[in-house]
Amino acid sequence: MIEWTPAMELGNPAIDEAHRALFDEMVRLYAAPDSDLAEGLPRLCDRLERDFREEEDVMEAMDLPDVKEHREQHARVLSALHHVVVGEPAEAREALMLLPQWFQLHVATMDRSLAMGLHPAGTGSQANGGYATL
């Protein structure tokens, strides 16, 4: 299992905090007892759907050029997670083992363009559409 490192931060406190919380939840759920997976994985999916949707809305409002590709990556990950049989702990753990690896790559590539387009939280800019509340 990979760990969060400062290299995964994008320099926008709101985005970095949201990403760190999601990453920590993925790792926590991976290490959780089998009995927690049936409830925890759907909750994680719901959270990812909400966060992805908010991120995509911000990207569209900013008219970023790679929003279509970004949205497609989100959809592929969510589709894979929705196909995990929650009653099969081994299958759920395999997905939870791969998810932080995908997340790390996604943050370093796709989310970097979003972060570069946003002003850091607290600068007074409302261009982020409230993204700071992720």
What amino acid occupies position 76? R
Predicted confidence at residue 130, as pLDDT, reads 42
Instruction: Tell me the domain boundaries of the chain.
Output: 14-115
Helix axes 34-62, 89-117, angle to 10 degrees: 20
Predicted confidence at residue 119, as pLDDT, reads 58
Q: How far apart are CA 67 and CA 105, in angstroms?
A: 16
Tell whether the model's pLDDT for residue 21 goes beyond 50: yes
Model confidence pLDDT, tens digit, residues 58-71? 899 988 888 999 99
CATH number for the region 14-115 comes to: 1.20.120.50
Model confidence pLDDT, tens digit, residues 81-107? 999 987 899 999 999 999 999 999 999
Greater pLDDT, 128 or 75: 75
- Per residue, the 3-state secondary structure of the chain, as one string, reads CCCCCHHHCCCCHHHHHHHHHHHHHHHHHHHCCHHHHHHHHHHHHHHHHHHHHHHHHHHHHHCCCCHHHHHHHHHHHHHHHHCCCCCCHHHHHHHHHHHHHHHHHHHHHHHHHHHHHCCCCCCCCCCCCCHHHC
Other beta carbons within 10 angstroms of residue 77's beta carbon come to 19
Tell whether the model's pLDDT for residue 127 goes beyond 80: no
Kindly state the average pLDDT of the residues 31-49: 93
Predicted confidence at residue 134, as pLDDT, reads 39
Q: How far apart are CA 21 and CA 13, in angstroms?
A: 12
CB 112 within 8 A of CB 66: no
